[in-house]
Amino acid sequence: MDAPANRTVQSVGQGREGELLEVAMGPQHPSTHGVFRMDVVLDGETVVKLKPVFGYLHRNHEKIAENTSYLGSMPYTDRLDYFCSLSNNWAYALSVEKLAGLQVPERAEYIRLITAELTRVLNHTCLVGFLLQDMGALGTPLMYAFREREKILDLIESLTGARMMCNYMRFGGCRCDLPAGWLDEAKKVVAEYPRFLDEFDKLLSGNEILMARTQGVGKLSAELAISAGITGPMLRASGVDYDLRKVDNYGIYSRYPFRVPLGDHGDVYDRYMIRMLEMRESLKLLEPALNDIPDGPVVDPKAKLRGFRPKPGEAYGRIESPKGELGFHLISDGSPNPYRYRVRPPSLINLTILEDMCLGQTIADAVITLGSVDIVLGEVDR
């Protein structure tokens, strides 16, 4: 068919220069790490305004917890940040222990430190893989990261019975003791892990494309980070020395020396490097802890599984989860259910700063900035 003679090809945007374009990225966009939406206003490719929209994965976690027993909320905490269920368990157990005044036996403290640090390694391994995926390094880095993650997941599975939904910690200790031979397996994994980190560093950290893509992108100043309540690797990448493991000295962290890596620029590259360095520090913590772990019970004999009713009161327990400060605020009225149960989720609060980091940058940079925040929507929306 011939086109009519008088018809000319016109570009869609002709005559509309300078107009702003509003794009809804998500909730089905593959780079938003789940069901998260960014309402972005674009001037060409530049971000003029960005509104994070969340709540698509809201599961009523806090209200469900107020209608179930203290123990019954433990498996639900696994489902907050589903990469780090053991850290979530610890934070919740810590706040209930504060509320009920339970003591954790020595061996359980060691198991908690070991599992929490394994979880940190696990989370950061996944994160660097996903971040590189967001940058367009499709497949290879993520595949290598997941190959290593599998080794830790195997350890966690043989200890807790589940790969991700561990439901392992209990008020006043842990659910069960380490299975036979577990420590040797763990030592082997920890000893071999630096080889993977070296490989990953060789693969990417010096890569010119990665540097050009991430340095100076998504900058966050220390002042803004502090005033917005940012915690975790995000805050430390901006150069603020604040790590709850050092500040609160919960568990047995004060017994082992470890360093807190800090960034200079607060850009995406710093956040990537912070995670790589934190993994090495976690491995340094794991090695002596795996050797020093004493024998003994793993749960406080005073702790009751059924009919657990803490005295009326209030408690806030917090830990340095791999994503930042994870806290549980509980109010008890003496009944078997908490009167109020509130989670302070690190990834939600770290996400609030997203617009400030993305303004004036291109839409592709917004994607990797979001990737470097390290969010898990299970925790953001709860």
Partner 1 sequence: MLGTGILKGMAVTAKNFVGSYHDSEHPLTTSEYPEQRIAPKENARQFPFLVHDTEDAMKGLRCVACQICEKECPPQCIYIVKSKDKRADYKGQMQLYPVTFDIDLSVCMSCQICVEVCPFEAIKMDTEFELSNTDRFGGLLVNKHQLAKPNEHYRKIHPTEAAVSDASLAVEVAKAQAKAKADVEAKAKAAAEAKAKAEAAAAAGPIGTAPTAPAPKPTAPAAASAAPPAA
Interacting residues with partner 1 (CB under 8 A)? 68-69, 71-76, 140, 144, 147, 150, 154, 157-162, 165, 167, 175-176, 179-180, 199, 202-211, 305-306
- Print burial letters for 217-247: b (CB count within 10 Å at least 16), e (below 16): bbbbeeeebeebebbbbbbbbbbbebbbbee
Query: Rounded to an integer, what distance in angstroms lies between the CA atom of residue 63 and that of residue 337?
Result: 11
* 3-state SS assignment for residue 88: helix
At closest approach, how far in Å is the CB of 57 from partner 1? 16
CB atoms within 10 A of CB 287: 13
Task: Give the C-alpha separation, 131 to 153, whole Å.
Answer: 20
C-alpha span between 328 and 351 (Å, rounded): 19
Shortest separation between residue 359's beta carbon and partner 1, angstroms: 30
Which residues neighbour 5 within 8 Å (Cβ) at sequence distance 6 or greater?
Answer: none
Rank residues 13 and 194 by Cβ distance to partner 1 and give the closer one: 194
Cβ closer to partner 1: 206 or 257? 206
d(CA 72, CA 74): 6
Instruction: Pick between residue 44 and residue 139 the one whose CB is nearest to partner 1.
Output: 139
In whole angstroms, the minimum distance from the beta carbon of 202 to partner 1 comes to: 5
Given the complex with partner 1, which of 143 and 247 has the nearer CB atom?
143
Nearer CB in complex with partner 1: 207/221: 207
CA distance 168 to 199: 32
**Cis peptide upstream of residue 27 (ω within 30 degrees of 0):** yes
Pairing of strands 46-53, 169-170: unpaired
Q: Given the complex with partner 1, which of 159 and 190 has the nearer CB atom?
A: 159
Least gap, CB of 187 to partner 1 (angstroms) = 18
Closest contact distance (angstroms) between CB of 145 and partner 1 is: 12
Tokens of 13: 């945007």
- Shortest Å distance, C-beta 15 to partner 1: 42
Ramachandran region, residue 259 (left: φ > 0; alpha: ψ -120 to 50; beta: rest)? beta
What's the min distance (Å) between Cβ of 115 and partner 1? Answer: 14
For partner 1, give the closer residue by CB, 73 or 321: 73
